[in-house]
Amino acid sequence: MNLQLAQLILWLPLLGFLFCSTSGLYIKDRALQKRLTTIIAPGVVLAAFAIALFVTLQFGSTSREIIALLPGASIYDPWIRFGGFRVNFNEVLDPLSLVMALVVTGVGGLIHVYSIGYMKEDRDYTRFFTYFNLFIFMMLLLILGDNFLLMFVGWEGVGVCSYLLISFWFSETANARAGNKAFIVNRVGDLGFSLGIMTIWAYFGTVSFYTPQHRGVLELANHVGHVLDVTGAVVPASVITMICLLLFVGAIGKSAQIPLFVWLPDAMAGPTPVSALIHAATMVTAGVVMLSRCSFLFVHSAVALQAVAWVGLATAFAGAAMAMVQTDIKKVLAYSTISQLGYMFMACGVGDFTDGIFHVVTHAFFKALLFLGAGAVIHSMLGEQDIRKMGGLKKKLPSTWAVMLIATYSIAGFPLLSGFWSKDAILESASRSFAGNGMLLYAGGLITAFMTAFYMNRLMWKTFYTRERFTDGQLHAHQHGDSDESGHADDTHDGGSVHTSPSTMMWPLFILAVLAVGFGWFAGPFGPGGGDLLRKFLEPSIAPLSLGGLQPQADLLSPMAGYILSSLIAIGGLSLAAVLYGRRMETGAILDPVAAEASPLVRLLKNNLGFDAVYNIIFIKFGGLLAERGLMRGVEADTINAAGDGIAKSVGGISHLLRRMQTGYVRNYALVMLVGVVTLMVGMLVGVMQH
């Protein structure tokens, strides 16, 4: 394998970032700068994808052993050495990192191409791609880093890029607040993650995943029934549980699980490509990737696995319930993302990390397709995002309708599409939960799947099928700032008429549509090579439940019965939405049978189940009051400032006394010297007399 070539997977996006961020210094022609950005920014990501694909194909033809490499130095050279702490700047090439590298660079590259058309009139076009390339680099660092510290650098890096991209149109206060909210809420989870890393160092003596001496954390945990530290001593089970729960807190924040999910719906304030890249295909799945990377630790803690499973199920159900009542097309998809992430966590919680990653991949395809399709709708509607003001767009945007239909049916779990295979695999694993609660997890997953099919078809009917609820030719652009800052809301198309999107926006949708249809079959149980290609490929990177002494329960249903039941659930949800909203197709009524504004339940669901209100009371009002009156006035003013003032006054008083001694008269100084000499002589005389 060409390891030097493999290094470029990580470094190419960084080179793109460096070009975009500095091009304004030496390219004064803005048109030329924009043309070069259009070529280089997507080009480096697509080139990284091509290399990742080449390396993966080579990797699949070898023994698939984990390969660690260090760019530009010997593997024994430390990146950081501080006291007893030592860590290298290593990349790890293994099945998990390669699969995620393909997703990040492949889907990320398509979104870069899509953004060329979406952002073409934006004044800050180059700044947008600067952030995009930096984000891709940080995400790759997160998944390719061979130790917890490098993963944490990438983890924090994508958080910073998320803040920059969510608040990209920062001239609007709501966008700036959304960026702040995402950044602050993620810091809560990051505290848990950092404490987990510190605990790992304290008990293991290393933070590396793999080492040349086979003394990395994951290697030390790869023992049946117990975990060792670098000295060979057994790490207590309670410590493993504590570490796993702390890491899980980090995953909750980054992957928007209950109770830290509140940042993701507001993150839709950013440009639609941002929503597709960060909040559908890459950043929000970082928590699932981290749990899967640490599967060798988690399988040794049944308590931690159960916590992951139940938080995942609760998040999946709550996200689906909140998505059912949303009227903003992007917020429907945002809550849908929260729900689908819950499925992934539930899979990890029952020990099926492989199918959790399977759903990460299929979700990247159909959810990126949904977001980009929604962006095409918004672009065509000149910035309108309210599905109550749409309708009848199937005739005007047939290509967009077709690709969004495929994505909708895929996420709904329609038979044989990608989402069907990955979601059914998760439900099957949940039904066989090692803790004996498989029926509850399975039933909750099925109910959530029904709700998913319903709210997604609701979105399709209100957007594409019902009578038009706008006047073509008189659409109003919903600008994000000044007109020269937000070209995607360009109002020059046919005097405000619905218009088709450019080819740079549509071709990525067609490619994602093919993947949303066929990838699940290709990687699933009936694919080529005997099936389960993805599961077999990921096997070296994922720990089996048996490593921790846990075993799944017996099957509740045969595989075929599970397929049939999942299919009926998906078709039932899709059909119910068609019946309810099909009746309103001719009238074009805005009334929504599941989103009546007067309903207290609907208001609760639309307001994040009250989490925002509770956080506002606890952290903003009470926390602000405590900070102002308790900390600022009581501690800072009355204690710290008072102590500082007291010291200053004491020094001033002493200085005043010393100044009085400096009279400037020689006779006074001579008198002091005389007194000193007399005192010295008397002291010496007393000493002699004592001897």
One DSSP character per residue, 391-458 reads --HHHH-HHHHHHHHHHHHHHTT-TTSHHHHHHHHHHHHHHT-TTS-HHHHHHHHHHHHHHHHHHHHH
325: its two tokens: 């009542």
Q: Is residue 74 a part of any domain in this protein?
A: no
**Closest C-alpha to 304, from 343, 261, 348:** 348
Residue 616 C-beta-side C-alpha neighbours within 13 Å:
7
Range of the domain at 630: 612-690
Q: Are 562 and 441 found together in one domain?
A: yes
Mean pLDDT across the chain, nearest whole number? 86
Q: Could you give the C-alpha distances from 489 to 327, 389, 496, in angstroms and in order?
A: 19, 16, 10
| Residue 592, pLDDT score | 72
Residue 478 — φ and ψ, nearest 5°?
-100, 90
Least confident of 68-77, 220-229, 533-542: 68-77
* Burial class of residue 120, CB neighbours in 10 A (0-12, 13-18, 19+): middle
pLDDT at residue 68 in the model: 63
Could you give the percent of the chain with pLDDT greater than 90? 53
Inside any domain, residue 232: no
HSE at residue 218, side-chain half, CA atoms within 13 A, is 23
The domain boundary, picked from 596, 626, 642, lies at: 596
Indicate left, alpha or beta for 362 from its phi (over 0: left) and psi (-120 to 50: alpha): alpha
Same-domain check for residues 577 and 657: no
Instruction: Tell me the per-residue pLDDT of 276-316, one tens digit each, with 9 for 90 and over.
Output: 888 776 889 999 999 999 999 999 999 999 999 999 999 99
Burial zone of 188 (CB within 10 Å; 0-12 exposed, 13-18 middle, 19+ buried):
middle
Write down the pLDDT at residue 379. 82
List pLDDT tens digits, range 316-347.
Answer: 999 999 999 998 999 999 999 999 999 999 99
Q: Do 437 and 511 belong to one domain?
A: yes
The 10 Å CB-count burial string (b at 16+, else e) for 246-268 is: bbbbbbbbbbbbbbbbbbbbbbb
Same domain, yes or no: 348 and 420: yes
Is 623 part of a structural domain of the chain? yes
Q: Answer whether residue 661 is part of any domain.
A: yes
Checking if the pLDDT of 107 tops 60, the result is yes
- Give pLDDT, residue 84: 77
* Residues 570, 654 within the same domain: no
Same domain, 638 and 511: no
What does the pLDDT read at residue 62?
A: 59
Kindly state the average pLDDT of the residues 663-670: 78
Domain co-membership, 508 together with 653:
no
**pLDDT score for 488:** 43
pLDDT at 687: 79
The answer to the question of residue 190 being in a domain is no
Q: Are residues 421 and 567 in the same domain?
A: yes
Number of domains in the chain: 2
- Among 107-111, 380-384, 527-531, name the most confident range: 107-111
Q: Are 384 and 497 in contact (CB under 8 A)?
A: no
581 lies in the same domain as 617: no
Q: With 0-12 CB in 10 A as exposed, 13-18 as middle and 19+ as buried, what is 376?
A: buried
For residue 143, give both structure tokens: 């998944």
* Alpha carbons within 13 A on the beta-carbon side of 14: 12
In a domain, residue 95? The reply is no
Across 648-671, average pLDDT: 79
- Domain shared by 315 and 396, yes or no: yes
Task: Tell whether 673 and 565 lie within a shared domain.
Answer: no
Q: 553 in a domain, yes or no? A: no
Kind and range of the H or E run holding 87 = strand 85-87
Whether residue 359 sits in one domain with residue 426: yes
User: Going by C-beta distance under 8 Å and a sequence separation of 6 or more, which residues neighbour residue 659?
Assistant: none
Confirm whether 349 is domain-assigned.
Answer: yes
Q: pTM for this structure?
A: 0.87
Query: Is the pLDDT higher at 89 or at 308?
Result: 308
